[in-house]
Amino acid sequence: MTQDTTVCLAELDAHTYAEWLGSGSRTVVVPVGALEQHGPHLPMGTDAILSTAIAEQVATLVGAKVAQPISYGYKSQQKSGGGDHLVGTTSLDAATLVGLTRCLVSSLLEQGVRHVVFLNGHYENYQFLYEGVDLAVRDAGLGAEDEACVLLLSYWDYVSQETLDEVYQGSFPGWDVEHGGVLETALMLHLRPESVWLDRAVDHPPAELPRFDRLPVQPGRTPASGCLSAPRGANAAQGKLLFDQVTADLAADLTAELGSAQAD
Amino acid sequence: MTQDTTVCLAELDAHTYAEWLGSGSRTVVVPVGALEQHGPHLPMGTDAILSTAIAEQVATLVGAKVAQPISYGYKSQQKSGGGDHLVGTTSLDAATLVGLTRCLVSSLLEQGVRHVVFLNGHYENYQFLYEGVDLAVRDAGLGAEDEACVLLLSYWDYVSQETLDEVYQGSFPGWDVEHGGVLETALMLHLRPESVWLDRAVDHPPAELPRFDRLPVQPGRTPASGCLSAPRGANAAQGKLLFDQVTADLAADLTAELGSAQAD
Amino acid sequence: MTQDTTVCLAELDAHTYAEWLGSGSRTVVVPVGALEQHGPHLPMGTDAILSTAIAEQVATLVGAKVAQPISYGYKSQQKSGGGDHLVGTTSLDAATLVGLTRCLVSSLLEQGVRHVVFLNGHYENYQFLYEGVDLAVRDAGLGAEDEACVLLLSYWDYVSQETLDEVYQGSFPGWDVEHGGVLETALMLHLRPESVWLDRAVDHPPAELPRFDRLPVQPGRTPASGCLSAPRGANAAQGKLLFDQVTADLAADLTAELGSAQAD
Amino acid sequence: MTQDTTVCLAELDAHTYAEWLGSGSRTVVVPVGALEQHGPHLPMGTDAILSTAIAEQVATLVGAKVAQPISYGYKSQQKSGGGDHLVGTTSLDAATLVGLTRCLVSSLLEQGVRHVVFLNGHYENYQFLYEGVDLAVRDAGLGAEDEACVLLLSYWDYVSQETLDEVYQGSFPGWDVEHGGVLETALMLHLRPESVWLDRAVDHPPAELPRFDRLPVQPGRTPASGCLSAPRGANAAQGKLLFDQVTADLAADLTAELGSAQAD
Amino acid sequence: MTQDTTVCLAELDAHTYAEWLGSGSRTVVVPVGALEQHGPHLPMGTDAILSTAIAEQVATLVGAKVAQPISYGYKSQQKSGGGDHLVGTTSLDAATLVGLTRCLVSSLLEQGVRHVVFLNGHYENYQFLYEGVDLAVRDAGLGAEDEACVLLLSYWDYVSQETLDEVYQGSFPGWDVEHGGVLETALMLHLRPESVWLDRAVDHPPAELPRFDRLPVQPGRTPASGCLSAPRGANAAQGKLLFDQVTADLAADLTAELGSAQAD
Amino acid sequence: MTQDTTVCLAELDAHTYAEWLGSGSRTVVVPVGALEQHGPHLPMGTDAILSTAIAEQVATLVGAKVAQPISYGYKSQQKSGGGDHLVGTTSLDAATLVGLTRCLVSSLLEQGVRHVVFLNGHYENYQFLYEGVDLAVRDAGLGAEDEACVLLLSYWDYVSQETLDEVYQGSFPGWDVEHGGVLETALMLHLRPESVWLDRAVDHPPAELPRFDRLPVQPGRTPASGCLSAPRGANAAQGKLLFDQVTADLAADLTAELGSAQAD
């Protein structure tokens, strides 16, 4: 991929990037992931792999660029990721993730980026990204009427009801236990099949966790696989459906929300 | 209410409290709320009023005590509380709420409390309470095998499907837009009817907000009432049903989870 | 108490509050307390009970509103509160109390409050409240010539020499050892007699503590009661005298200092 | 002064210091001051000059060493130092002063110092020194029974009633307005007469400041001299009396409190 | 690349990784870079590209694993990176980079990693990585005698005098101005030739910058290219020489320092 | 020294200082040191003694003032100061040193100082001073075109090649191991001969330390003297040469860089 075709900031030289900023196409997407156990059948980098792939496709569709992902995420919680005690889960505390987000927004806005979009792929990150964005937006003195702004979303919020029905056939277990389950496995099978080891997948019913969080975590409540629901039946076709629908809808949303900025 | 009957820590003298701690009944519940606009028909203190009332009833059922509520919460977000720009919404940043939670856990554990339960009543607080608890638990060097532990929950996670069906009759709009809506209004009508002004309530369809968060907030996206769904049809009977079911289930959970501790 | 008569922000709906702010009456008082042992005869919430009661009376006199109290305070120090090691004393560290104060000032000023008054009832809090106020005032870019400002005081600084002579009859032990002593007991007897258990009070001479602080605290230096001076002779009439004089003088001061703001 | 006679850590080589630590004489005093306006007749470094001189004398009496002073202090407050807006007042915020104190305690304890004594000479510092000490003592896991400990004091707390009567002849204005007044001027005349310019001193009554703090500060409330009380009548004999009494009493206290440690 | 052959943690599943940890081969290398302008001929991700490539080769040689790189670095400084004001330079502040490092060390040590090696590729990062490591090592209570430890280095510190002479032929300008110059260009030509655009390179003498840092930066002191020295003459053969020598020496050092751990 | 002749801020009264600021001569130099072991022949305060002496001479030459030194520095690192584990080394963490620097810049700029110059004498401090300066400069909203600015330097960066050749006669070991070696010893012999104990100096070859940092430090790698190179041959004449050349060049640089400011 050449400088002319890549959407990745890290692959561009700074002079080419400066020209692009000057052309009015000034949206940068920051994928956010985690280094987190995802059971025996998915790689630990799954969250950043998926958010980056979605970000690159969306950026291609809307003429944006993609920054290096935030590769490490907030502590895995038992009810959404199995827990932070599991081997392979390598996490940031809240202050660090908030600071990281705040610095990236401030630094990107200062150099002339008009819109920053955080595309989250790790459930536990969201509120800390939000705080980082909020602090940076206040630091910059931005108001509702300013064109510069920051968007923040988790990609699964873009899965439509139609897609959900098609993929899960009525057995959707809820986003919170979709850790290492059908959604992520199907997307990986579509996007990175060489990094899925379905023969290692373990089948088990969705984890039944208490309605409360308990700390320290009781490890026995997390299934031995580390997954909160099994990837049973996940396939690449589902992954393609999910990927195509989510990226199309997200691109449409960005264009609708930031459109005039992109075009001027 | 006398020292013998109150469950409120602030109403006890320290010597009586020390005796109680020595008796083995060592669970303290900390209600968490916010000072946040809740539309024209509910008071700004609604979240702490509700979490405190639930905490007191649960504490009565299980023999626990209730600490002073955390009266101020994390910034209201547009998709769950209308936004932090609204007059009357008086908020803490993440570092402060994390620090507050961490200090309370540390201080309570140091004086001999065995179980601390955070009972949350403001959607946006959860992850910051979690971080505060996690840091304090690490500070204290607690492990999974220790009896001392901290529980964390939002009270609406205890609303059963049966109650939901009964209260909403199939029109449940989702917890995120349940801000100033049927749930909170019904509970307030049951618990504090003198603080509900139904004649001031505004009827409107649930807010339709984007799948992303945008900062700075576009104020026009929040309904003029400040509510994300209307309290239409809310009544005290629903409130009683919600209150009784949630407190009973929560008490049962605490007993099951912490029971031997309570009894020893 | 109705919306028309209450001075408590938490009891108002946001629309009514917004109207009030628009009317030019824009002073909000924040009472500050602690959850701290106060001997066997006073409840642990004494500091917030007293500062809130004083705040409500002053607010009534000057047309201000009262926010929810800061219910937890800075660490109790041996020379002014017996020490942070005592059971029942549940404390915040400096960073948290500073952050809490800073957030409240910023959030209140942003929504249109013109004057914020911190009314402190726990000796150890003062300097941390000051820092929080100073940081928020700098954040807001306020200057000496701006009408918006923040006041900060401890209520005992308003006890006049006449009142002191009348209440103590020449045996005033100093504010620092007035912890669980005559002042607080008398005020509680006037304001909340059902929360004073005089039969449990212990009589002892004022604590004689070193001129230095030592950390870790030597527990044996604090009287077993937890009080630094005894409440001997405290009665409700003294409490009424203290309350009436302090609230009258404080109200007069607020009017003199912030008067034109209140009136415009 | 040679290595054999100096009490100043900064003037010792590390090997000589290590030997001293090994001899059992392990108390280090840290003087604390400020860089703060002290009117036209005293140098801006007055607070550190005085606390260092007192520390050196006390250390000589009890066999302790003196570390480099903390030369910058917490923000000057109008009611005790005239205010932080005055030219020449160069201040630290709370987090920095707390951190500085915490680091010094931790670092000194780690290298084998048994007792650290903070000797404060700037009114506003106290609570922040206290927090830094408390955090470091917790970090170190010290308990009441440990020999290692930290003491904290302001030198004026050691002025006896007899000295006060002698120096002020009944006109003591209170420690809070003793900024640039008789106490500091007399001590400087005794210890550093070449740094006092009495001909530049301004005579005025003690400042009459409100019972509240207001921020931002109203500059007009601080006397033009920057002093809160005038140094009228201050002389070197008073300074000698103050210095000799305070250092003797402080040395006696240290010996009584830490004595066995010094002797072993 | 399969799970059997990859050294990248993000490409492994957690169960395979746990087995590897259990086998005694427990060194994880964390490459550190920056998103920083590197002139018109190198991509902005150069620092992480190089440190990651070196880390992967070293890990292959010694049987270690490589974590996701820290992709963003400390603020570019004018004397070593041209300055943080340049478009494309997207930076973290000190607290964030320290926090990131501290979290990674803590999290990796907790899950059983025995040795963490930070391999730095961005000059400005070093001291902040050091602080993060130091804090985490203290948190973990590690002592000199423990096998667990953390190493920290910048890869150019491994360039031997022989290599330097060979590559620069006597015209080595100093590491500080080696930003976008011969070293980085030669390494990129060897490792990622498709990401070097030599036809865009600008030839100019090494920047002559003052012996002081000035902030705010005077932009005119940085060459228009953004490079502090020109890549004149850089070629892939030099890059191969540098890469082979550095990785071999670094691998030898790791084996010598951590060898018994690797082998047990 | 009188007020008319001293360059030390701490020795001036605030009114005299205010006049000086008003005269347009508005550069303040802040020397930075450490309390750090420097072997058996130099005092622990060496770094601040040297940076202060240089600052005072430079200030005299250019008409600037000198603030109290930052007497404590960042943690000594094994490769540049022997390590933070050595007795006598009393250090600050990064956050504290950054905060201290930030506060001093902010406070000095607010009171009308136009140029702040940090003159560093402890190797490890530099990056943390830089961060503190950068944060304060951003807080103040300064831009490249503003006259107000901050300079930052380590004094050894001003040693010319000629001086180096003269002093070391070709055996210069590198600045990093110049800890307790010829440079510092010679300067001390020139400036403070009574604080150098050459008879206690230990002769040994320069320390050969790994190219990496390891934490926790392996103490055995630091020479027993604590010095990283021996002071063999150091004499006062070298010290005079170093001092005169460095102060002259630094004064010339300040005049060239800040000259118009000094003159107006």
Check whether F244 has a pLDDT greater than 70. yes
**Rounded distance between C-alpha atoms, residue B19 and residue B65, angstroms:** 13
Cα–Cα distances in Å, from F41 out to C161, F172, F194, F240? 61, 20, 11, 19
Number of separate helices (H) and strands (E) present in chain B? 8, 7
Q: How far apart are the first and last CA of chain D?
A: 27
B145 given a catalytic annotation: no
Is the pLDDT at F263 greater than 70? The verdict is no
Give the Cβ contact number of residue D260 at 10 Å. Answer: 9
Q: State the pairing for strand pair D149-154/C213-215.
A: antiparallel
Q: In this predicted model, what pLDDT tens digit does every residue of C173-190 receive, in sequence order?
A: 888 788 999 999 999 999
- What token pair was written down for D213? 């703090």
Closest CA to F214 of E143, A10, A215: E143
CA distances, D21 to each of A21, C228, D112, E236, F88 (Å):
62, 38, 7, 58, 10
What is the DSSP secondary structure assignment for residue B147, as one 8-state letter? Answer: S
Neighbours of F202 (CB within 10 A): 17
Alpha helices (runs of H) in chain D, residue ranges in sequence order: 14-22, 46-62, 78-81, 94-110, 126-139, 161-168, 182-191, 236-263
D-to-F residue pairs, Cβ atoms closer than 8 angstroms? 176
Q: Flag whether pLDDT at D226 surpasses 70.
A: yes
Residue to test with chain E: of A1, A70, A96, most E Cβ within 10 A: A96
**Residue partners of E142: CB distance under 8 A and separation at least 6:** E148, E149, F215, F216
Rounded to whole angstroms, how far apart are CA atoms A38 and A88? 9
What is residue B92's three-state secondary structure? strand
pLDDT higher than threshold 70 for residue F260: no
| CB proximity under 8 Å: F 15-34 to D | 15-18, 21
Which of B84, B124, B157 is the closest to A211 by Cβ?
B157
Residues 6+ apart with CB under 8 A from C46: C33, C36, C38, C180, C184, C188
Question: Which residues make beta-bridge pairs with C216?
Answer: none
Q: Return the structure tokens found at E161.
A: 């005098």
**What is the pLDDT, as a whole number, of residue D1?**
53
Find out whether B247 and B233 touch, Cβ atoms under 8 Å: no
CA–CA gap between residue A199 and residue E163 (Å, rounded): 48
Q: How many CB atoms lie within 10 A of CB D25?
A: 16
Helix (H) or strand (E) holding A171: none
Listed by start position, the domains of chain D span: 9-257
F45: pLDDT strictly greater than 90: yes
Structure tokens at B113: 């409390």
Instruction: Judge whether D233 and D182 are in contact, CB under 8 Å.
Output: yes
Q: Model confidence at F165, in pLDDT bands (50, 70, 90)? A: very high
F-E interface (Cβ pairs under 8 Å ≥ 3): yes
Q: What is the pLDDT of residue F1?
A: 53
Q: Please say if B85 is a catalytic residue.
A: no
Section C51-78 average pLDDT: 98
Contact in structure between D151 and C216 (CB atoms under 8 Å)? no
E15–A200 C-beta distance less than 8 A: yes
> Closest Cα partner for B94 from B60, B135, B53, B66?
B135
Chain C, residues 33-62, CB within 8 A of chain D, namely none
**The token pair that represents C58 in the structure block:** 């002053």
CB contact at 8 A, E41 and E180: yes
- Say whether F14 and D197 touch across the interface (CB within 8 A): no
The arrangement of secondary structure in F9-257, i.e. its CATH architecture, is 3-Layer(aba) Sandwich (3.40)
Tokens of C3: 């919306």
The verdict on whether B184 is a catalytic residue reads: yes
pLDDT of residue D216: 98
Contact C59, C255 (CB under 8 A): no
- Record the pTM: 0.97
- D positions 87-126 inside 8 Å of C (CB): 93-95, 98, 117, 124, 126
User: How much is the pLDDT for B11?
Assistant: 98
Residue A261 CA to residue B16 CA, distance in Å, equals: 65
CA atoms within 13 A on the CB side of F9: 29
Query: CA nearest D107: which of F258, F92, C122, A162?
Result: F92
Instruction: Count other C-beta atoms under 10 Å from residue E166's C-beta.
Output: 14
- Give the integer Cα–Cα distance in Å for B31 and C133: 26
Rounded to an integer, what distance in angstroms lies between the CA atom of residue E82 and that of residue E76? 7
Residue F102 pLDDT more than 70? yes
Name the token pair of F177: 């191991």
Q: Which residues of A8-47 are buried (b: 16+ CB within 10 A; e: fewer)?
A: bbbbbbbbbbbebbeeebbbbbbbbbbbbbbbbbbbbbbb
For chains E and C, having 3+ Cβ pairs within 8 Å is answered no
pLDDT at F170 over 90: no
- Identify the burial level of D238 via C-beta atoms within 10 angstroms of its C-beta, where 0-12 means exposed, 13-18 middle and 19 or more buried: buried
- What tokens does A24 get? 């009015």
pLDDT at C264: 39
Q: Output DSSP code: residue D179.
A: S
Closest residue in chain F to residue D15, using alpha carbons only: F40
pLDDT band at residue F5, thresholds of 50, 70 and 90?
confident
Instruction: Give the per-residue pLDDT at E262.
Output: 43
> What are the pLDDT digits (tens) for A43-83?
999 999 999 999 999 999 999 999 999 999 999 999 999 99
Alpha carbons A26 and E49: distance in angstroms, whole number: 25
ipTM associated with this complex = 0.96
> To the nearest whole angstrom, how far is the Cα of A157 from the nearest Cα of chain B?
6
| Confidence class for position F58, pLDDT limits 50, 70, 90 | very high
Q: What is the pLDDT of residue F173?
A: 87
CA distance to B114, E77, E156, per residue, from F131 (Å): 43, 10, 24
The predicted structure's pLDDT at residue C232? 94
Q: Exposed, middle or buried by CB within 10 Å (0-12, 13-18, 19+), for A218?
A: middle
What is chain E's length?
Answer: 264
Q: How confident is the model at residue C113 (pLDDT cuts 50, 70, 90)?
A: very high
Mean pLDDT taken over chain F: 95
pLDDT at F262: 43
Question: F199 CB near a chain D CB, below 8 Å?
Answer: no
Show pLDDT as tens, one digit a residue, over chain B (264 residues). Answer: 577 789 999 999 999 999 999 998 799 999 999 999 999 999 999 999 999 999 999 999 999 999 999 999 999 999 999 999 999 999 999 999 999 999 999 999 999 999 999 999 999 999 999 999 999 999 999 999 999 999 999 999 999 999 999 999 988 988 878 899 999 999 999 999 999 999 999 999 999 999 999 999 999 999 999 999 999 999 999 999 999 999 999 999 999 999 844 443
Which residues contact residue E254 at a Cβ distance below 8 angstroms, ignoring those fewer than 6 apart?
E27, E58, E62, E64, E117, E151
Mean pLDDT of successive 10-residue stretches along chain E, which has 264 residues: 83 97 92 98 98 98 97 97 96 98 98 97 98 98 97 98 94 87 97 97 94 97 96 96 98 91 41
Strand partners, E35: E90
Residue E105 carries which side chain, given as an amino acid letter?
Answer: V
Q: In the beta sheet, which residues pair with residue E8?
A: E66
Q: To the nearest whole percent, how much of chain D has pLDDT over 70?
A: 97
Q: Do chains A and D touch (3 or more CB pairs under 8 A)?
A: no
Q: What is the average pLDDT across C4-27?
A: 93
CA dihedral F253, F257, F262, F264 (to 10 degrees): 150
Non-local (6+) Cβ contacts of D215 within 8 A are C130, C133, C134, C137, C142, C149, C150, C152
Q: What is the pLDDT, as a whole number, of residue A1?
A: 53
Probe site for chain A from E1, E42, E96 (most A CB atoms < 10 A):
E96
Joined together, the tokens standing for residue F54 give 């240089």
Using CB atoms, pick whichever of A43, A44, A87 lies closest to residue E112: A87
What is the residue whose two structure tokens read 């504290």?
A: F96
CA distance D48 to F68: 10
